[in-house]
Amino acid sequence: MSRIFVSYRREDSSGYTGRIQERLIAELGKKKVFYDIGAIQPGKNFELAINESIDKSRYLIAVIGKEWPTAKDEDGQLRLHDPDDYVRLEIESALRKNISIIPVLVHGARMPRAQDLPETLQEFARIQPLELRDTRWEADMEALLRLVSGPPILRKILRAKKQSLAFLFIPVVIPIVFFLTQDPVNDAEHFLTLLAKGDFHNAYLDTAYSFQKDTDESTFIEEIRRIGLEDNASSFWNSRNLGNGTARLTGTVTTKQRRDIPLTITLVKEDEKWKVLDFELSSVSKK
């Protein structure tokens, strides 16, 4: 299961972040969650520790409260406009390393506008956020957990594995399917994340060679926009199949406007990575 880096500003959202951190650790385990207050050992360089941890992470959760974009230092300057601000460094590093970033809005906060951010963070403003509402905390938290670690059954299996003989009573077919397909799921999610960022070129490079041979980049972009996949916000795969060198994921992609798109993505492994071979809407191939 992938490691998660939690980015936040203490005076802006420490209470909410603490709740998020506790739930992530309860579901995924302490080693899978980097949370700067408790994770950095005394005497260790803070910035170096952050960069090392981001290097090992697949997801960065950026917790944003109402004062996140307007927080100021003791001189009255906006912290995000300070090149040495740790929150800025965390997000810049994740963007640079192409790590999946999930902005999480708390306490009624809104995403900052690109024009209000330094140039190096403007791409962050275009990422679709997930809101954690006090009135729907459990449901929203479950949506976040699905994004970073899959459905509840997978988390249950991983927890049971750590509990002596309890793991032996879980049907082995379920964990085998989930474990064998986790890499293609991660790469499919990365493909969708690139589309959501508007990075169509790198998304196209994440398609298989045979796909690129039959479909040029401009046609690919037109088809993505026709289907609406560039507007994706989250996905859920209720069927995973692996065989004959390909992986097939079937589920639902939910857009930023909360429209559900039934989708099947077929992937093939090339250059040590699972690449998109085809994508289907309902039962009609849309390659």
What pLDDT digit, counting tens, does each position of 53-77 carry? 888 888 999 999 999 999 998 888 9
Whether 137 and 22 map to the same domain: the answer is: yes
User: Contact at 8 Å (CB) between 7 and 16?
Assistant: no
Write the CATH number for 141. 3.40.50.10140
Q: 79 pLDDT exceeds 90? A: yes
Whether 24 and 103 map to the same domain: the answer is: yes
Whether 223 and 134 map to the same domain: the answer is: no
pLDDT (0 to 100) of residue 166: 47
What pLDDT digit, counting tens, does each position of 150-163 carry? 655 555 555 555 55
Whether 116 and 178 map to the same domain: the answer is: no
Whether 28 and 123 map to the same domain: the answer is: yes
Q: 2 pLDDT exceeds 70? A: no
Whether 11 and 140 map to the same domain: the answer is: yes
Query: What's the whole-model pTM score?
Result: 0.57
Q: 125 pLDDT exceeds 50? A: yes
Q: 221 pLDDT exceeds 50? A: yes
pLDDT (0 to 100) of residue 165: 46
Is residue 156 in some structural domain? no
Whether 187 and 68 map to the same domain: the answer is: no
Distances (CA, A) of 18 to 59, 85, 163: 18, 21, 26
Cβ-proximal residues to 162 (8 Å cutoff; 6+ apart), any chain = 29
pLDDT (0 to 100) of residue 1: 41
Question: Which range of residues forms the domain containing residue 225?
Answer: 163-285
Whether 181 and 217 map to the same domain: the answer is: yes
Instruction: Report, in angstroms and rounded to the nearest whole number, the Rg of the chain calculated over CA atoms.
Output: 20
Is residue 157 in some structural domain? no
Which of 82, 116, 149 represents a domain boundary (last residue)? 149
E-strand stretches of the chain: 4-7, 33-35, 59-64, 100-106, 130-132, 232-243, 246-255, 260-270, 273-281, 284-285
Whether 168 and 89 map to the same domain: the answer is: no
Whether 231 and 275 map to the same domain: the answer is: yes
Instruction: Report d(CA 45, CA 38) in Å as an integer.
Output: 14
Lookup result for tokens 């739930």 = 23
Write the CATH number for 249. 3.10.450.50
Is residue 158 in some structural domain? no
Looking at the 3D structure of the chain, how many domains does it have? 2
The identity of residue 195, as a single letter, is L
Tell me the pLDDT band of 174, cut-offs 50, 70 and 90. Answer: very low
Is residue 155 in some structural domain? no
Whether 16 and 127 map to the same domain: the answer is: yes
Is residue 154 in some structural domain? no
Instruction: Report d(CA 89, CA 97) in Å as an integer.
Output: 12
Instruction: Report d(CA 31, CA 93) in Å as an integer.
Output: 21
